[in-house]
Structure 1
């Protein structure tokens, strides 16, 4: 009996990219001599690397553009360009990702998304009609002011000096959009979000995600004060409030800032990936789906890639097995669309050795394949 398997993991944070995870899982199924089609289709949900995955599937031309990175150094950064569709695909993390700096270099009070703005500027210079901006994995909490500055917006204090860092927004007195790139008016900007958090208010993104970007409680309070001032100025100028926009907290408020200043559409990261890559057309071929990510917890069940694709699989009566580095205690498979769940930590004595993650994942995939044979083919 042949059973077709779709191998569609998300990235395993800190250890494997989505393509690397897919490769390791497929190798395990091959070693188990699986009978049936095996197809790898690594997925993204707006998080780190989603743009690269989209660019690969859509056969985009990769363009290298010199931009100012987080530390102010000029660096060549790749983005995708589909000339026929006049479509640009940009990963915010390529220029401004948390993975690009050390713990000692984390500085959420001053780091900005200026480099990402330069990538968008480059896309606009090619007369892009549509830009997909994937915003996961950022090192910044700047509300998108860095991007805005690169696109010609000025933030000015009461002395007439231009403000360029998030913490200094507390002194904001004027927002000047007169120099903003006019090509923005001819371009649809879609921000692919991997979280639903709002930027300000209860359960705001600054407090929820600030610590991983280096923001202690004192820094969080400073940033909240600064962005409340920014928000009041936006409202004074007649713009939409950045405070309670759904998905607005993505990438330290980039999503909210882009929607307010440039009328960007904030879209579900996985849903956009799913349709743009044509994965929706391929699902009916398969009976089993293997997905996964670094950590399974309650956040997984709030719409992360593995959860989102498992929900899609349900529509086609596809059984989904999820695999992870670790399964947190708050993860309840009974309230999920998953058929079964496996993790590396509980299956291997030294499973927390990230350098061996590919090997562990292959061995675990082999075990999953054999378990599936027992359950699906013998019953």
Structure 2
């Protein structure tokens, strides 16, 4: 009998373990089991925090360090990656404009900006890149990407020509001056990896849905939504682009909408782009079984999340797929069952969410060990000849 070849391709378990640590824990459990197997760890990202680092690592990219501005425009050490012989820059928004850079008591999306991410983009242009890939998860901002655009030379002006620099000030926006925009950015391909479909404004917009996670009070949410509406109105008048209608436009506090409108950025499904960029198909060709997962696997998973992208491609090749998560539905609907042959929750008895997150690693190891033992007993996985 040949050993079973298992491709381990999880997303991060948010607020608990990054994707690489999840994959390593699953591998550890499988190797402790009685199953004769060969494991390949292929952690994935769908545009969320950590996606850029995985892409750079897969391409053996070069890290470029720099000091830029954090969300409150204080100096912070950051970095981006160069891959494809220096032709492509992979930039992680969280590294310069991320919520991780602020203490809980500092969160303030009325003032936080994406300016530092724009500085990273400008530095990448200095390196002569032809393509910029931007992973936008984990941001602390709801500024419509105006911070990035300011760093690249666009000015946002009030009626008296005062320069507006904060999200809360955009309600007074009268004119967007693009004459100073760095011309190099318009000769680059800019691709934004999105993991949500939300539009820019409204009840399902970036302020309403993501603002509270970034420290916005109910009153702040209203102000931010008004600012983004004003930004959209002025932009529509000047460019004829209605950014309020864009699918994915609300991603990362509206960064997707702003960069689509002024930089002609491509808004793409994050996991689909990631899997193509990292040659995931080649790893699938060697696999007998695919294991994926993230913190929760449910109906929302089917809306462009990492595990769905993995499962979809695996099913194209008629491979069995095992989904592992902290939380799974009691009765998965037919759509989930179509892509996941088995869904397993890793919990080992009742636990509050804080305790469960602390136990993620050991629960993953235990669950994977049990899966391996069961597969060894039943011999249900067919190996490639």
CA separation in 2, counterparts of 1:221 and 1:202? 10
- CA shift at 1:221, angstroms? 1.2
Contact between 1:345 and 1:352, CA under 8 Å: does it hold in 2? no
CA distance in 2, matches of 1:214, 1:345: 30
Partner residue in 1 for 2:10? 9
Which residue of structure 2 lines up, in the alignment, with residue 102 of structure 1? 103
Deviations 1:245-288 (A, max 9, x none): 01111101100100001100111111111111111122121121
Number of the residue aligned with 1:182 = 183
> Is contact 2:347–2:363 with CA below 8 Å preserved after alignment?
no
User: What's the TM-score, normalizing by structure 2?
Assistant: 0.93
- State the secondary structure of the residue aligned to 1:252: helix
Give the number of equivalent residue pairs. 378
Distance 1:103 1:371 in 2: 44
Shift, 1:352, TM fit: 4.4
| Distance in 2 separating the partners of 1:74 and 1:57 | 29
Per the alignment, residue 165 of structure 1 pairs with 166
Matches of 1:307 and 1:361, distance apart in 2: 19
Separation in 1 of the partners of 2:335 and 2:151?
A: 44
Match of 2:347 in 1: 345
Q: 1:4 to 1:85 in 2, by over 3 A?
A: same
- For 1:325, what is the secondary structure of its paired residue? strand
Paired residue for 2:21? 20
How many angstroms apart in 2 are the aligned matches of 1:352 and 1:69? 28
Q: 1:237 to 1:291 in 2, by over 3 A?
A: same
Q: Does the aligned pair in 1 maintain the 2:10–2:43 contact within 8 Å?
A: yes
> Hey, what does 2:334 align to over in structure 1?
334
Return the alpha-carbon distance in structure 2 between the equivalents of residues 3 and 14 of structure 1: 32
Are 1:201 and 1:244, in contact at CA under 8 Å, matched by a contact in 2? no
Q: CA RMSD in A?
A: 1.9
8 Å CA contact retained: 1:70, 1:111: yes
Q: Which residue of 1 aligns with 2:371?
A: 368
Q: Unmatched 5+ residue regions in structure 1?
A: none
TM-fit CA distance, 1:376: 4.0
Per-residue Cα deviation, 1:148-184 (whole angstroms, up to 9, x for no partner): 0111110011222110111111000111111111111
User: Residue 239 of structure 1: CA displacement?
Assistant: 4.1
Please state whether the residue corresponding to 1:37 is helix, strand or coil.
strand
CA contact (8 A) 1:351 1:360 kept: no
1:356 partnered with 2:362:
no
Residues 1-379 of structure 1: pairs in structure 2 closer than 5 A: 1=1, 2-82=3-83, 84-201=85-202, 203-327=204-328, 332-336=332-336, 337-347=339-349, 352-353=354-355, 354-377=357-380
Partners of 2:247 and 2:164 in 1: CA distance: 27
- Secondary structure of the structure 1 residue equivalent to 2:191: strand
CA contact (8 A) 1:166 1:226 kept: yes
After superposition, the Cα gap between the structure-2 partners of 1:173 and 1:24, relative to the gap in structure 1 and judged at 3 Å, is same
Aligned in 2, Cα 1:351/1:74: closer, same or farther, shift over 3 Å? closer
Please say if residues 45 and 270 of structure 1, whose CA atoms lie closer than 8 Å, have aligned partners that are also in contact: yes
Task: Tell me how far 1:303 sits from its aligned partner.
Answer: 1.5
